[in-house]
Structure 1
Amino acid sequence: MKKLVSAIGILLLLTTGVVAAQQPPSAARPAAGAIDPNAIRDAGLRVATAVDAGQVAALWDESSAVTKKTVTRDAFVAGINRSRQPLGKTANRNWLSVRRQSGDGAALPQGLYASAEFLAEFAGKPPVRELVSFRLDEDGTWRFAGYAVQP
C-alpha cells in the first residue's frame, strides 16, 4: 500500500505540481508543447468540481494512459476519496498557480506536464491546496493525470 501511495505521490507531485486534464470531463487542447494557462486553470477547475461531485471514477476513465499504468481505477478512486471525504463540502476555491514541467523518466514518467493549483476552503476546516495535473499525451491531447490534496 505504501508503494502505491508513493507511486501516486510521485505521479501527482512534481515539485509542487503536475498532471493533465481532459474534460471529465474533457480538456484543454493547445498545440503540442504550447500551454494556455487559462485553459489549464479552467480544466483544473472542472476536474476539482468533478471531484466535489463524486465523479472520481469518471476522471480515471478519461485520464492519461500513464496514470492508468501507474494506479488501478479502484486504488485511484479510493485514494482521492480518502483524502477528500474528511474535508466535507467545498465552500470556496481560488486558483493559485499554473505550472509546466517535463518528466525525465526517473521521478516522473517522460513527457510534458501542466498543473493547476487551487486554495480550497471547506466548512470548519483549515484551507488546503488542491493540485490537478495534466499530461500532454503522445497524440497531442492534454489529459487528466492526477489530483492531490495538500495541507
Structure 2
Amino acid sequence: MKLLSTLAISLCLFASPAAQAQDAASEAPAKAAALQWLALSDAGNYAATWEQAAKSLQSQLPKATWLSLMQTHRAPKGALKSRQFSQAMFTKTWQGLPDGEYGVLQFNATFERPPALAETVMLQKDADGVWRVNGYLIKPR
C-alpha cells in the first residue's frame, strides 16, 4: 500500500501546479544522482539501490520488501539496451514529507525484454545537499 501511495504521489506531482521546471544547472545534479542510482539497478545491485536511497524510502519500505519488489518488477526486464532522458519536474512540497526540494525525472528505456518502458525516478535533496532517490516506477510506454 505504501508503494502505491508513493506511485500515486509521483503521478500527482506531474499534474500539480506546484511542480515547476528548473534551469539546466539545477537539474544536472538530480539527473546525475538518478543515473548513478539507475546504474546500480541495471547491474542488479538492488541492495545498493536501497542503501543509497533517501531515508524516507528506507523508513517506508524495509530492505527485504524493496529487494522483493525490485526482483519482481525490475529484474524480469533484463539488461538495459538504451535509456534516454525525457523530462524533469521539481517542487518544494511532497505529500507526507516536510517541505524541501523534490524532483521527478522520467526516462524512456529499452530493456532486453519488451515492452519499452518509462522509468520515473523520484528524488529528494537531503540536508547535506545530496539528491537521493525516494521512489522508482517502471511502466510500459
RMSD of equivalent CA atoms: 2.3
Please point out which of 102, 123, 141 is paired with 1:113: 102
Q: Aligned residue for 1:138?
A: 127
Q: Aligned residue for 2:65?
A: 75
Please point out which of 13, 17, 22 is paired with 1:15: 13
Q: How far, CA to CA, are the matches of 2:68 and 2:93 in structure 1?
A: 25
Specify the code of the residue in structure 1 equivalent to 2:80: T
Q: Give, in angstroms, the shift of residue 10 of structure 1.
A: 4.3
Please point out which of 3, 6, 30 is paired with 1:5: 3
Q: Aligned residue for 2:34?
A: 44
Flag the 1:75–1:12 CA change in 2: closer, same or farther, 3 A.
farther
Q: How far, CA to CA, are the matches of 1:74 and 1:11 in structure 2?
A: 23
Q: Which runs of 5+ in 2 are unaligned?
A: 16-24
Q: Give, in angstroms, the shift of residue 146 of structure 1.
A: 2.0
Please point out which of 102, 113, 124 is paired with 2:92: 102
Give TM-score, length-normalised by structure 2.
0.77
Identity among equivalent positions (%) equals 22
Whether the 8 Å contact between 1:14 and 1:101 is mirrored in structure 2 is no
Whether the 8 Å contact between 1:80 and 1:147 is mirrored in structure 2 is no
Flag the 1:71–1:58 CA change in 2: closer, same or farther, 3 A.
same
Q: Aligned residue for 2:138?
A: 149
Specify the code of the residue in structure 2 equivalent to 1:109: L
Flag the 1:10–1:80 CA change in 2: closer, same or farther, 3 A.
farther
Higher RCO, Cα 8 Å, sep 6+: 1
Flag the 1:108–1:102 CA change in 2: closer, same or farther, 3 A.
farther
Specify the code of the residue in structure 1 equivalent to 2:82: N
Number of aligned positions between the proteins: 130
- The yes-or-no answer on 1:64 pairing with 2:54 is yes
Q: How far, CA to CA, are the matches of 1:86 and 1:147 in structure 2?
A: 16
Q: Aligned residue for 2:20?
A: none
